[in-house]
Amino acid sequence: MSSPYEVSIDEEVSQIEVTAPHVFILGAGASLAALKEGDRNGVKLPLMDNFVDILGLSGLLSEARLDFESMNFEDVYTKIHSAPNLGSLCRKIEEIVYRYFLDP
């Protein structure tokens, strides 16, 4: 038995009233779920937890000789960026990340 409060998708969409500005944040997990095979060029959409693997950064990170609590890219990059003696490594990683998103 359907609830008297159930509405069709068309009814729900037509009932939307925006009376004030609002923000909707869609996480990367949703993008990955929607594009399992990658973007239109077949480029995989990375998440912070698999960014190191997808970009092939493991070899470079071994140069850092740091203990990473996790391989979450945000944690890794923060630690490298914070180390004054790893500026060169940081720039290499930034270039790889930039090229990954630039190249089709």
Q: What are the structural domain ranges in the chain?
A: 9-102
Q: What is the pLDDT of residue 81?
A: 92
Residue recorded with tokens 């990658």: 38
Interacting residues of 32 by C-beta distance below 8 A, sequence separation 6+: 45, 47
Distance CA 12, CA 17 (A): 10
Q: Write the pLDDT tens digit of every residue in 44-90.
A: 888 889 999 999 998 888 877 888 888 999 999 999 999 899 999 99
0.75 cut: is pTM over it? Answer: no
Distance CA 76, CA 89 (A): 12
Contact between 104 and 41 under an 8 Å Cβ cutoff? The reply is yes
Q: Write the pLDDT tens digit of every residue in 4-40.
A: 668 787 887 777 776 776 666 667 788 888 888 888 8
Distance CA 97, CA 25 (A): 23
Q: What is the pLDDT of residue 13?
A: 74
Instruction: State both tokens at 75.
Output: 């944690």
DSSP 38: -
